[in-house]
Amino acid sequence: MSEDVREVRVQGERVASYPDLPPEVARGAVRRITLVGEDVLHRPCADVTDFGSAELARLVDDMFATNAVAEGAAIAANQVGVPLRLFVWDMADEWGVRHVGHIANPVLDELPAEQRKLVEESEGCLSVPGPYRPLARPDVAVVRGQDMHGNPLVIEGRGYFARCLQHETDHLSGSLYVDRLSARERRSVLREMSRTQDEVQARRAARAADLGKPLPLP
């Protein structure tokens, strides 16, 4: 994690310190990341109901491990092939705040019109390896859901973290960032992905080796 990080928030709460690699990464196994066009990414996910289970805890660990190997900001459950309303994140925003956590069954607050300031920034996706494209989103987001034990959870973000919360919540509704682009721009993204996909996969394999995490079979 960057030396520019000045504050860490875990599950939305400030903590005094936190390891560069979350403990979930050490426990978790790397799963295959699904790609745009696969059915699981293009249909709404089911609500999480098995709170407190070993299976749910294992899924959260595996998602953190997979996200770390892919050097992502966040990853949704359907991006590892599990159609549940769940995502995890580990990223730093523009103000040097590192955000780490997970949320189940997230719902974004509807923002009042006076708070809906749209900001256009470059956006990419682990399931669309390689390309980034400018996309306008509100620069503030509030998402409400539950943690893995079923406890209520409210996460607030601004800037890049707000974009992350919206991007991942979209995933759980069966939508990718490319679905917000024009048809022409979407075709451009998919062409670029076909050219860069092998390079991205090679970087992920190298990162997995550095972390001592075996990659799943294709």
Closest to 95 (Cα-Cα) out of 187, 158, 20: 158
Closest to 111 (Cα-Cα) out of 165, 42, 176: 165
Alpha helical stretches, state H, 2-69 = 23-27, 54-69
Q: Where are the beta strands (DSSP E) in the chain?
A: 7-10, 13-15, 74-76, 86-92, 97-108, 118-125, 128-138, 140-146, 152-158
> What is the structure's pLDDT at 1?
52
Q: Which residues pair with 140 in a beta bridge?
A: 158
> What is the structure's pLDDT at 116?
80
Instruction: Answer whether 129's CB lies under 8 Å from 197's CB.
Output: yes
> Amino acid identity of 202?
A
Active-site residue, 168 included: yes
> What is the structure's pLDDT at 145?
98
Q: What is the pTM of this model?
A: 0.95
Q: Is 124 helix (H, G, I), strand (E, B) or coil?
A: strand
Q: Which of 114, 156, 168, 199 is catalytic?
A: 168
pLDDT tens for each residue of the chain, 218 residues long: 545 778 999 999 999 999 999 999 999 999 999 999 999 999 999 999 999 999 999 999 999 999 999 999 999 999 999 999 999 999 999 999 999 999 999 999 998 887 789 999 999 999 999 999 999 999 999 999 999 999 999 999 999 999 999 999 999 999 999 999 999 999 999 999 999 999 999 999 999 999 999 998 76
> What is the structure's pLDDT at 115?
76
**How far apart are alpha carbons 70 and 200 in whole angstroms?**
9
